[in-house]
Structure 1
């Protein structure tokens, strides 16, 4: 059975291994300093970024999820943005991704959020099969303007 808990300082090394796997999957290159800043933000009770880790029956870390909240113009309650979701390739398809999403959904509901939403790459078919089961494809297209830094 998969167990999901909020990230703690003691999860750092397990989180880091999954984080590097996530970045590799998306062919992203972040500095070690940014990685450590991200982990510290997740642990900071004053920050709006949250995280959880999934472990299997043996206690091995098999997945992570990060989310944040923000005010919205279309609702009284905040929106919850699921920013990062990663499940170790060896256990994909076993329900860990769905459990991590459900963890975020339950947290968002408990904290008065109006919705949970996320983005994924169009070609990420494995993840999209899961997303199509647990959420609605809104049809929106993502644009961005990098600002450097």
Structure 2
């Protein structure tokens, strides 16, 4: 059975390993100050949020998300990062985490939950196509600074 919920101080090292795995998947390595900042933000629960998924008491998945205002609706929830340990994939962890974020956002009056993924991330997209609508938007970025 998958249990989702808040991360605890005791989850820090496992969360860091899972977050490192997520970033490795996207070809990046985070500087320690960004990892520390994220953890502090999750602990304060004001701007950024995190949930974990546990199988048999072991943390095997994480999700990070935030809310922001919208010009056309109530606030919206952006699901920024989602990662499941390779040993737990295919067991419903990702789905459970997405559902937990949707429940969290619904309870706070958000109009929707949305996220991005790379077009080549076919494994994740199989799940996403089952639980959400593909709105066919492209993402553009202007990198600022270093």
Same fold (TM > 0.5): yes
1:127 matched to which residue of 2? 124
The answer to whether structure 1 residue 74 and structure 2 residue 75 are counterparts is no
Aligned pairs for 1:1-149 (under 5 A) are 1-45=1-45, 47-57=46-56, 59-75=57-73, 77-149=74-146
Listed one character per residue, the Cα deviations across residues 51-107 of structure 1 (whole Å, up to 9, x for unaligned) are 0111111x22110001000000011x1000000000011211110000000000000
Deviation for aligned residue 1:10: 2.0
Q: Which consecutive residues of structure 2, in runs of 5 or more, have no partner in the other structure?
A: none
Aligned partner of residue 138 in structure 2, secondary structure = coil
Greater than 2 Å deviation, 4+ residue runs: none
Distance 1:134 1:144 in 2: 26
Deviation for aligned residue 1:136: 0.3
Deviation for aligned residue 1:8: 2.2
Q: Is the 8 A contact 2:20 2:29 kept in 1?
A: no
Q: Which consecutive residues of structure 1, in runs of 5 or more, have no partner in the other structure?
A: none
Distance 1:8 1:145 in 2: 35
CA RMSD, aligned part only? 0.9
Aligned partner of residue 42 in structure 1, secondary structure = helix
Q: Is the 8 A contact 2:67 2:77 kept in 1?
A: yes
Count of matched residue pairs: 146
Distance 1:43 1:7 in 2: 8
